[in-house]
């Protein structure tokens, strides 16, 4: 009888253990990130923050949650609009809480894992730190980081999502920024008409005007807007007259080096037609205004880029053809991706 009871008890424990095992949540699942073979290796080290399905989903929720701002009115996605390649369409300067206005335009967010530095002046040097500036800037989201972390820890939904993505434990700033970085690492644009042509996709080719525009681009623009990212990541003075109301010294604000006066980061030209206005202060609302500046409006100052000593003369025909080529850099799959689209935060 005793032997039978022992056997029954062991059998019960075995069955209970197996059933309990089926209730255990699986760990974070790896998020597949497929990158083009003709792009350089990303500079963001994803081995230190491996992308997971749960981490990316959490980062997406945070990106679109207005509660990351002090008064719960401004989310990251408020300024970074997907249809404008995650820039702020038709707004020359960034907008924030209390109807405040920043002093620079909102840069598009894409292909961030290939960037070593962020912001127009390169004031942030790591993808995981990048969100800190807009979250805490009084003219943007204006939130205190400690207060934000307290808000998130007080939210049962977020506690569960953070546990799913990073394991059990308190929510902290490192986890918040890692989750946002995981989502931003998926914001990649490399499937435009231009890309299809470069990959020799069957049946896809430039029109005559696009082909001519590509030749003009290679001759006059490619030194700074280097393919395939369409930026070389450098800082240059492109001859803009200084905006007297902003007094923006550019890169010099970070380096304190007078040689960097009026130098700003070279933006990517991908999706450029979808993301006006242009330049660091959003002064140009039309891409043809940009062409006119480089052709006839470059101001010569001591730090002007050597490539612009004589401007970049363009005929009206060349401007038109260049416009047609830049249209081929629009990536419909990126700006319409459901995986990147806004989600409504209900609690």
CATH number of 46-188: 1.10.760.10
Rounded Cα distance, 313 and 319, in Å:
10
Residue listed under structure tokens 């803009």:
240
pLDDT, tens digit (0-9, with 9 covering 90-100), for 299-343: 999 999 999 999 999 999 999 999 999 999 999 999 999 999 999
Residue 76 is assigned to a ligand binding site: yes
Domain ranges of the chain: 46-188, 193-330
Fold topology of 193-330: Cytochrome Bc1 Complex; Chain D, domain 2 (1.10.760)
In whole angstroms, what is the distance from residue 241 CA to residue 214 CA? 28
Annotated ligand binding at 224? The verdict is: yes
| Ligand-binding site membership of 10 (annotated) | no
Strand partners, 264: 236
- Find out whether 79 is annotated in a ligand binding site: yes
- Mean pLDDT, the chain, whole residue set: 93
Could you read off the pLDDT of 129-146 as tens digits, one per residue? Answer: 999 999 999 999 999 999
Confidence of residue 186 (pLDDT cuts 50, 70, 90): very high
Coarse DSSP helix, strand, coil percentages of the chain, rounded to the nearest 5 percent = 40, 5, 50
Distance CA 251, CA 262 (A): 7
117, 110 Cβ separation under 8 angstroms = no
Q: What is the pLDDT of residues 233-272, one digit of tens each?
A: 999 999 999 999 999 999 999 999 999 999 999 999 999 9
pTM, two decimal places: 0.91
pLDDT at 294 over 50: yes
Contact 170, 159 (CB under 8 A): no
Whether 193-330 and 46-188 are alike in CATH topology: the answer is yes
Long-range contacts of 101-105 (CB under 8 A, 24+ apart): 101/139, 102/137, 102/139, 102/140, 103/139, 103/246, 103/248, 103/281, 104/248, 104/280, 104/281, 104/282, 105/277, 105/278, 105/279, 105/280, 105/281, 105/282
């Amino acid at each position: 009888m005793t032997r039978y009871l022992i056997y029954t008890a062991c059998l019960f424990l075995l069955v209970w253990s197996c059933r309990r095992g089926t209730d255990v949540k699986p760990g974070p699942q790896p998020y597949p990130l497929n990158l083009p073979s003709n792009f350089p290796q990303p500079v963001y080290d994803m081995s230190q923050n491996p992308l997971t399905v749960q981490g990316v989903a959490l980062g997406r929720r945070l990106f679109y949650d207005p509660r990351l701002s002090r008064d719960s009115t401004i989310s990251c996605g408020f300024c970074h609009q997907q249809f404008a390649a995650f820039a702020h369409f038709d707004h020359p300067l960034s907008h924030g809480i209390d109807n405040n206005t920043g002093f620079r335009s909102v840069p598009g967010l894409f292909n961030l894992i290939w960037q070593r530095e962020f912001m127009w002046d390169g004031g942030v040097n790591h993808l995981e730190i990048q969100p800190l500036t807009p979250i805490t800037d009084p003219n943007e989201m204006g939130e205190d980081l400690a207060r934000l972390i307290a808000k998130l820890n007080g939210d049962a939904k977020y506690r569960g999502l953070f546990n799913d993505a990073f394991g059990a434990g308190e929510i902290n700033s490192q986890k918040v920024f890692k989750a946002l970085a995981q989502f931003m690492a998926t914001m990649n644009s490399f499937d435009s008409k231009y890309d299809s042509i470069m990959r020799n996709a069957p049946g896809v080719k430039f029109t005559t005007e696009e082909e001519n525009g590509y030749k003009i681009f290679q001759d006059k623009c490619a030194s700074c807007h280097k393919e395939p990212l369409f930026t070389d990541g450098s800082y240059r003075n492109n001859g803009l007259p200084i905006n007297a109301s902003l007094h923006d010294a550019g890169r010099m604000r970070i380096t304190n080096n007078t040689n960097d006066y009026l130098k700003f980061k070279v933006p990517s030209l991908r999706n450029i037609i979808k993301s006006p206005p242009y330049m660091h202060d959003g002064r140009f609302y039309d891409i043809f205004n940009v062409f006119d500046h480089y052709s006839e409006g470059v101001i010569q100052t001591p730090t002007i880029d050597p490539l612009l000593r004589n401007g970049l003369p363009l005929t009206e025909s060349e401007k038109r053809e260049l416009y047609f080529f830049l249209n081929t850099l629009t990536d419909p799959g990126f700006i319409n991706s459901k995986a990147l689209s806004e989600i409504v935060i209900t609690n």
